[in-house]
Each structure stands twice: as C-alpha cells, then as structure tokens.
Structure 1
C-alpha cells in the first residue's frame, strides 16, 4: 500500500484529509516540530496546531514542548486495534448484506421473489434435508447428483421422495444408473422436455425456478400450505402422471406407505373389489382441531367422483375432487382424506398398509 492509499484508508477510518496527511507524514519522520511537519506535508501552517491537537485527542500522536511544539506518533497498538475492529465490522457487514440478498427470509404464509437460482437451490436443499412426510422434486441430472445428500437425509427421516428427472430432447444424456436412486428416492420418473426446477416439501414449502432456457430468470420461494397445493397439482399433472417410471423403490409387500391418498386409492381399489382385507395405520391431523392423530383399523370403503364408472385404475381426472377412505377402528368408522381435507375427519400425511388378508392368509410385518 503506498502513501496515497494509506491516507485514503485513514480517511475511511474517520480521519479528516489534513489529519490523515499529517499522521502519514509523522509516521515517516518519526518526530518533528509543528513547523517542520507543516513544511513536510500538505497541511497549511495555520492549521497544523489544530490538526495535531485533534490527532492527539484520538490517541494517534502525542505532543511535547522542546523550545517549540513537537509531535511524535504514539505506539500504534490502540490505533491498530481500532482499525482492525473497523475492518472486522466491515467484513461482517459485507457478509450480512450478501446473506440477506442471497437468502431473503421467507415470512410465514408469504411468497418471496428472488433473483438468483442459487438462492432457490440452497433453500430447496435445506428444506429437503429436514423433510418428514414427502418430497416432490423436478430436477436435471446434475441437480439430482448435487441434491443426493439432502435426499438421503429426507429418506432417513422417513419421507417419501418422488423425483421427476428431466433431460433435454436435443441432447443425448444418460440417466443415472438404478443404484444412484437407491436410498435417496421412493420413485423416479423421466421427462424428456425442458422443465422448471421444483421442490415441494411437507405440503408447505415450495422452491421454484424456470428452466435454464427461459427468457425470464427468477425464483419463487413459498411458505404456504394453500399455494404449495397449487404447485402440487402442477407437479402431478405436468411433471409426474404421464411420464415413464425409471426407478421404483416401493415395497411389494406390507408395510407399504403412501403420502398421496390418490395413489393409495388407485392401488387398493382392486384389492377391495376382490374381497381382500386391508389393515392400515393413518397418521395425520384432525380436520376440526388440527391436532396430530394416529389411527389403525380396516379399510371398509372408498369415495371419489365417478367411482365404479370405469374399469381398472381410475384416471387422475376422476380423482381431482374429493377422495377419501373409510377406516373402521375399534371405536367407530372414520373418513380419511388427503392434502386439503375439509369434509373428512382426518387429513392423512401418511397411510401405511400394515397387512393384506387374502384367502384367509395374512401378509404382515
């Protein structure tokens, strides 16, 4: 750092132009009379005495009489501590500004629009890592690989993880091997179209960004139950329902867990029609109080629009309205709905088939 840069730094630290000039010169001279100092620097002689008094009050120098007023720089220990403290404060301020710009706090039940994809991606990784019930994720192959540690944490937490992985149609890009999805995904589907980045976590958190080729580059962070439900239907219809399954880690025998009641109904309706008995455990919330509940019993009925009007598994269009199952417990029969339940007694976050009774034989845990 040359003398000009040092003077500039001293001015940034709170000294005036003349004070910085005089102190910088005094550091070079060691000690000098007031008049000698004025001759050696750009401070006018008429101002030098006021400048020296001000520097002494700030503990930068000390003055003494020797036929005339002299000055010398003090041991810079206090000055250095002050400057380094200011530097640390500025670094901390810079870090805080960067963090607040990159990762704006999302108020409860509100939406934040952000500029950088990294902000969306980092928030998604953090929320996925803490997932408890379900993760619905739309990613590129590279994004999937980067999110594997977070996805593994979600699976370890017991979350059901659905991944829509997309590759550009203009590029021959291989999907990861089946082994790459083990322990990090429940089911994976492949979409060969440019697709936004979407992460939906535990029915409340949404992280969204347009695909890389979009003209508009921004990100949306949502912390709201209802708005996330809208993104859920976008995921179901555009990113999930019609695309090929490339990995299925769901078990074939009990216990078999579902976070989506519509998927559950599709799977169990043929079994009920065949007279098979299903024992289930439902975890969720009482719709009237919002309190957590856990019930166990036998599935005795299903309810959805157009029930019985088609053969085989009902299409998603028939399951867009009310969908419910009736569970007979030791005490009574309770209706169980899925995400957004208002008519049922329980909103299920997890439905687990514990046992399948077929031809008097029970397959169970």
Structure 2
C-alpha cells in the first residue's frame, strides 16, 4: 500500500470509531471483512490481528447493527453487508436530525456581526430563496450564467418588486445567456457581462448574499457564502452592483422605453437614469419629486417635496444628485432650492433613502396670495404715467463680459456647442480616469458691457432715463460701454478688467480677472475731483453703489459720501441703493465696519440694501447671534445695518423690511426660461427703478420682480409698454405658471 492509501485507511478508521461508534476491535474486524469478502473466523482473526476468541463476539455485535452477515456452516463464516445498504439507516437518521436541528436553529438574522458564513450549498440556496421571497420593493442580482437555475423560480414570483439582473460569465463570442425563456417576465431589466463574477444579491438595499463561486484562484475554500444582515454592509454590496457592475453591463433587449410615472425609487441613480430618458420628451420642471431621507448637516430625518429644477447624472460617475425647488416662503432666509443625493452622500443638502417621481400637470399651480395682490394693486396705482422723468447715478461695478461657449468636436469634425452645464461637467469627469490633462475648447461669440453699472444702466437706458455711469470702463472708455450708452454720461475711473462669461442654457460659469487698481475716495478725487463728482451726483433721485465684491474699499467710500460728498450737494439724491454682491470673502470685522458706515450714512439719506438669499444667510451667520429671536431675519438685519430698508430677493419672490413692517411679494415662476444669466442683477435694476420713482416698499417688490421676470423670459431689458403690460397681467403669470 502507498502512503496515501495508509492515510485514507487511517481516516476511515477514525470515522468509523468517531461517527459510527465502533470500538477499535470492531473497526478492524469490519474492515477485514469489507476488504477480504467471505472469510472464516480464523481468517478474520489473522487479517484483523484481533484474538480469535474475541472475533466471534465482535462478529455477532456487527451483525446486530446490520453491518455483517454470518453463514452457519462449519467452519463458521462471515461477510460484510454492502455499505450503501448497511449505512442507509444511519443516513436517514442524520437527515432527520439535520431537519430537526434546522427547525431549532436560531435564525442568522440575529448574528451580532451582521454577516454569517455558510459552506453548505443547500443552505446558501435556501437563504437566496428566502431573500428574494421576502423582498418588499427591490431585488438586484449578479448571477453567473451557470447559476441562473438557482433563482428563476423565485424571480417568477416577484410580481410587485422591481427586479434587475446581471448575468455574468457570458461568452464574448456569442453573448448568449442560454435559453432566454428561462428568465421570467417579472425581471424588469437584464444585462450581461463577459467577465467572471461571483453570485451577489441585495434586497431593498438592506440585506444581501455574496456567494463565492468554485474554482477562483483568490478563494481558499470553494463555494462559501456570506449572508449579510447589517444594512450598512448590504448598502456597500448594493453599490458594488449598481455603480460598478450595472453601468458596464450590456443591455439584453431594449431599454429605451420611457418609464411610467408615478414611480418610487430607493436608489437615486435609478431615478436619474429614468429622468435622463424622460427629459428627452419633457421639460425638467414638469416633474415633481418627493423624497424621504435626512439632513446631511444635522442628521435630522426629513420628508420634502418640490419641483425638479436640474439634475446631475452619468453612469460612469459616482456623483449623482437632484436639484429641487421645495418652495420656501419668500421671507425665509433658507434657500428654496436644495440638492438631494443618495444615502451616504455628503456634498448635498439632503440624502434620500426613498424618492417618488411624478409628472406635474402644470409646473406651478399656486394662486396669487392676498399680500402679493395688495402690493400689485399698489404698483399699478403708483407706476408713473411715463418713464424717464427722473435720473440716477450708478457706481462702480463695471466689467467687460467676453461671452463664450464651450464646444466639442462631433463625429465628422464639426464643432457643436455644449449647451448644458452638466454635459460640460461630464466632459471633465472623463479626464479623471485619463492620464491626459483636461483640454476644453471654447469660442468667443461677442463682448458686451457687464457688472452692476452696465446691467442697471441698460434697463434705465431702454426705458428712457438719463443715467450717469461711473466705474472702470477703460482709458479711453471701451467701445463696449461707449456704443450702447452713447446718449448717457460715462465717467471712467481706470482700466477695465474682463470676465470670460460662459453661458449655458441652465446656468453660468465665470472666469474673472481681478482688477488690482484700487477704487477709493482718493482715486475719485484724483480722477474726477470732489466738486466735479458732486456735480455728477447732484440733482439725481438715486445713487446706486456696489459691489462690495469688486470694490474692496467700498465702505470707506460710503464714509466719504457722508463726510465729503453730501455737504457739497444742493439737491442730494433721495435714496442710496447699496448692493453688496458676493460677500463670502468678507470677514465678520469687515461686515461690522460696513454696518457702522451704512448706519451713519442713513442718518443723512435713506439707504436701501438689496441682497440675495445666499448673501442674507451670510450676513445672518456673521452678524446675528442665535438667540432664539422670532423676528424675521430681514428685519433683524435691517436694524443691525442701521438702514431704512433691507430687501432680500429669491427665485420665489422678494421681501422688504422697513421700520414699520415686513412685506413680501411672490414672483412669477418662469417655465423653461430663455436664460438665468443676470436675473439677480435685473432684480437690482427693478429695485433701483422703483427707488427712482419713489414707489412704496410693497410696490417696489412687484416692479423689481417684473423687470427680472421679463429678462428671464426674453433675455433683454423691458421696453416701457412691455413692462406696463406685464404688471397689468402679473397675477395671470402667477396663476398660470
């Protein structure tokens, strides 16, 4: 016998003694009979090396257990019963014991680690079946083609769940997964990959099973399965399937059919995949989103709904999000537009565990509220019979906007414009997996005047007002300013800088050259002269100044207006309109300094601050203590700045705080706007116009909303008749949008 045979025989002896309960002598006698066939007791004693006087008793005991039979002859003989027959009763007993033990066994759902290891294929199959049958909403599978038979019967019963299946180990030559009819119709989508993959299953993103397949080099023990009950670990497995395997798999059949709504999702990427198809036929804002999840900053559970405004999605980028207008009140400082990501996402406002998508009958259905109607009636009454009788001075924010568009080369060599910001972002994402540096092509379409001076000045010029523009417009003044404002007064304070203004259909992208030439009161005196500057301001109704972002020493200029300019004026402006612009770079100390200067200026002239919702949040966080004050934030900021009016503008509307009251007016929501560029600036134009005509605070909000809305609809400043017509039909735009 070989050494290997000896080892096998030793293991057999151990098995018989440990599991069949044979003694050492019984084992040796039994093996002698198995190996030698029918033998006399003398032959058995010699073969087994068991004393002959003991062999007779041992054979009798083995016969009682059904392992051997005795031939009553002389001399007496014995032989071993066929092992398959003699051990059948033992196998039956073990099977019964196994069944009973499984009934008694505590379920693996209760294992503390959240992961149970199985090595029995029958047990693995049973838990696969249990998982699929107990799924409430969602089943996601990765199945080697040879294992399809394990799941088809259970999948056929999934009539109420969404089921997606990836079949792996498919031949690259035939792309054949076998009998297509074996995949039940209850499977919503099927894809396949040619790579060799293990079996993986998740249900409802909360439980899963990973079954290592036989013959893999990286596995020590073939066929082991990991049953996952820990929701966090199950989510990791689900993301492996949905974000790594699914995007690279090839669809089996047509996936172009538009999904039926309403529909619920537990993965944001599934929702976004459907949206990418739906938005080829419908506008983005024709969809309503309801989501359940949590605030990524506080962890607080939330349920919110709103209108979809945009989304970001590509199958090859793990980043994915929705942008939803949840319709915050116009007076609320918190933004009405929020970002929503998947469970575990961090760079969004909310992480959603469940999303419902449905199509709106209309985009916005709210009727005009009583307060907005009251301010609208005031605006209609107070609007002057003709525009252009007053005048304004606009300082200091001026740029040249080089209007550009990103392009890419289409097949055939022709260039196409990249129209959506998300498409541009996707172009950049592709470079993350490339060694090549990002290369983006663009072209300049035109140049035009930009900044507060140009945007507000353009509205005033179109409506027939005399306006004085003061800012850095070039030495000499650049044609971009000189030509459109040839009938107005232009005063330059130095060289102009440019902003590369990339205009997408859904947002804007700015690359701005900083201007290192300072603007302060000394520069104004040197370039213009204090008396000459006073002559430019004297007799105008409004002096608009901004922005804090582009004019770092604007607060010092505000002080100089009070101490140096106003004493020189015979007919000073009735209003100063202060436009802060972007303020995130300003320190709390700088903001405090601004409060002091503006409060002092308000002692000699009525000061109005107009800020966006995001700028207002910055002011709140830097200037107000969180003392549980129930007053509106805009009123608290008005008092903090020490000014007569504080106006906050948002997409939904605007709010103004005065010493007497806080007023709000809703704005018409523009469905599929011509563009969003400069909407905030043109609200500022409308507010400056309202101050010029000395409208009441509520009426001013309606006029400013109207100017901004017309610009968003038509991408241009309003004509006089057009502005009057819009205000006359303002309530119609609210109820029908």
Q: Please state which band the TM-score falls in when normalised by the shorter chain.
A: 0.5 to 0.7
State how far apart, in whole Å, the 2-side matches of 1:176 and 1:206 are. Answer: 26
Q: Which of residues 314, 320, 323 is equivalent to 2:321?
A: 323
State how far apart, in whole Å, the 2-side matches of 1:290 and 1:121 are. Answer: 37
State how far apart, in whole Å, the 1-side matches of 2:109 and 2:284 are. Answer: 50
Instruction: Name the SS for the 1:232 alignment partner.
Output: helix
Instruction: Name the SS for the 2:286 alignment partner.
Output: strand
Matched, 1:213 2:215: yes
Distance change >3 Å, CA 345–CA 183, structure 1 → 2:
same
Corresponding residue of 2:27: none
Structure with greater strand share of residues: 1
> What is the CA distance between 1:341 and its match in structure 2?
4.4
> What is the CA distance between 1:132 and its match in structure 2?
2.1
Corresponding residue of 2:185: 183
Corresponding residue of 2:292: 284
CA-to-aligned-CA distance 1:5-30 (integer Å, 9 cap, x gap) = xxxxxxx9xxxxxxxxxxxxxxxxxx
State how far apart, in whole Å, the 1-side matches of 2:100 and 2:140 are. Answer: 31
CA-to-aligned-CA distance 1:283-310 (integer Å, 9 cap, x gap) = 534454557x4x55421233x5xxxxxx
Corresponding residue of 1:260: 267
- Most deviating of 127-136 and 165-174: 165-174
Instruction: Name the SS for the 2:248 alignment partner.
Output: coil
> What is the CA distance between 1:209 and its match in structure 2?
1.3
Instruction: Name the SS for the 1:228 alignment partner.
Output: helix
Distance change >3 Å, CA 105–CA 174, structure 1 → 2:
same
State how far apart, in whole Å, the 2-side matches of 1:272 and 1:251 are. Answer: 12
Cα pair 1:181 1:247 within 8 Å, conserved: no
Cα pair 2:166 2:191 within 8 Å, conserved: yes
> What is the CA distance between 1:171 and its match in structure 2?
9.4
State how far apart, in whole Å, the 2-side matches of 1:112 and 1:166 are. Answer: 24
Written as runs of structure 1 = structure 2, the 5 A alignment for 1:82-97 is 93-97=97-101
Q: Which of residues 195, 206, 218 is equivalent to 1:193?
A: 195
State how far apart, in whole Å, the 1-side matches of 2:354 and 2:292 are. Answer: 5
Matched, 1:301 2:310: yes
State how far apart, in whole Å, the 1-side matches of 2:171 and 2:138 are. Answer: 29
State how far apart, in whole Å, the 1-side matches of 2:254 and 2:130 are. Answer: 25
Instruction: Name the SS for the 2:216 alignment partner.
Output: coil
Distance change >3 Å, CA 223–CA 290, structure 1 → 2:
farther
Distance change >3 Å, CA 106–CA 352, structure 1 → 2:
same
Cα pair 1:299 1:326 within 8 Å, conserved: yes
Distance change >3 Å, CA 251–CA 170, structure 1 → 2:
closer
> What is the CA distance between 1:223 and its match in structure 2?
1.0
State how far apart, in whole Å, the 1-side matches of 2:133 and 2:114 are. Answer: 21
Corresponding residue of 2:164: 162
CA-to-aligned-CA distance 1:56-109 (integer Å, 9 cap, x gap) = xxxxxxxxxxxxxxxxxxxxxxxxxxxxxxxxx998754243567897455266
Corresponding residue of 1:314: 314
The structure that has the greater radius of gyration is 2
Instruction: Name the SS for the 2:252 alignment partner.
Output: strand
Q: Which of residues 225, 230, 243 is equivalent to 2:249?
A: 243
State how far apart, in whole Å, the 1-side matches of 2:113 and 2:356 are. Answer: 27
Corresponding residue of 2:204: 202
CA-to-aligned-CA distance 1:124-148 (integer Å, 9 cap, x gap) = 2211212123221011345334423
Distance change >3 Å, CA 285–CA 132, structure 1 → 2:
farther
Q: Which of residues 213, 229, 232 is equivalent to 1:223?
A: 229
> What is the CA distance between 1:244 and its match in structure 2?
0.8
- Most deviating of 321-330 and 234-243: 321-330
State how far apart, in whole Å, the 2-side matches of 1:163 and 1:198 are. Answer: 10
Corresponding residue of 1:123: 127
> Is there any run of 5+ residues in structure 1 with no aligned partner, and where?
1-11, 13-41, 43-88, 305-312, 361-365
Corresponding residue of 1:7: none
Instruction: Name the SS for the 1:126 alignment partner.
Output: helix
Corresponding residue of 2:85: none
Written as runs of structure 1 = structure 2, the 5 A alignment for 1:16-95 is 93-95=97-99
> What is the CA distance between 1:226 and its match in structure 2?
1.8
Distance change >3 Å, CA 327–CA 273, structure 1 → 2:
farther
Cα pair 2:271 2:357 within 8 Å, conserved: no
Cα pair 1:133 1:349 within 8 Å, conserved: no
Instruction: Name the SS for the 1:211 alignment partner.
Output: coil
Cα pair 2:192 2:250 within 8 Å, conserved: yes
> Is there any run of 5+ residues in structure 2 with no aligned partner, and where?
1-20, 22-56, 58-92, 330-335, 364-670, 672-737
User: TM-score when scaled to structure 2?
Assistant: 0.30
Distance change >3 Å, CA 339–CA 118, structure 1 → 2:
farther
Distance change >3 Å, CA 246–CA 91, structure 1 → 2:
closer
State how far apart, in whole Å, the 1-side matches of 2:358 and 2:182 are. Answer: 27
Distance change >3 Å, CA 99–CA 351, structure 1 → 2:
same
- Most deviating of 121-130 and 267-276: 267-276
Corresponding residue of 1:144: 148
Cα pair 2:267 2:342 within 8 Å, conserved: yes
User: TM-score when scaled to structure 1?
Assistant: 0.57
State how far apart, in whole Å, the 2-side matches of 1:232 and 1:326 are. Answer: 25
> What is the CA distance between 1:236 and its match in structure 2?
3.3
State how far apart, in whole Å, the 2-side matches of 1:356 and 1:197 are. Answer: 43
Corresponding residue of 2:582: none
Corresponding residue of 1:134: 138
Distance change >3 Å, CA 356–CA 248, structure 1 → 2:
farther
State how far apart, in whole Å, the 2-side matches of 1:188 and 1:166 are. Answer: 11
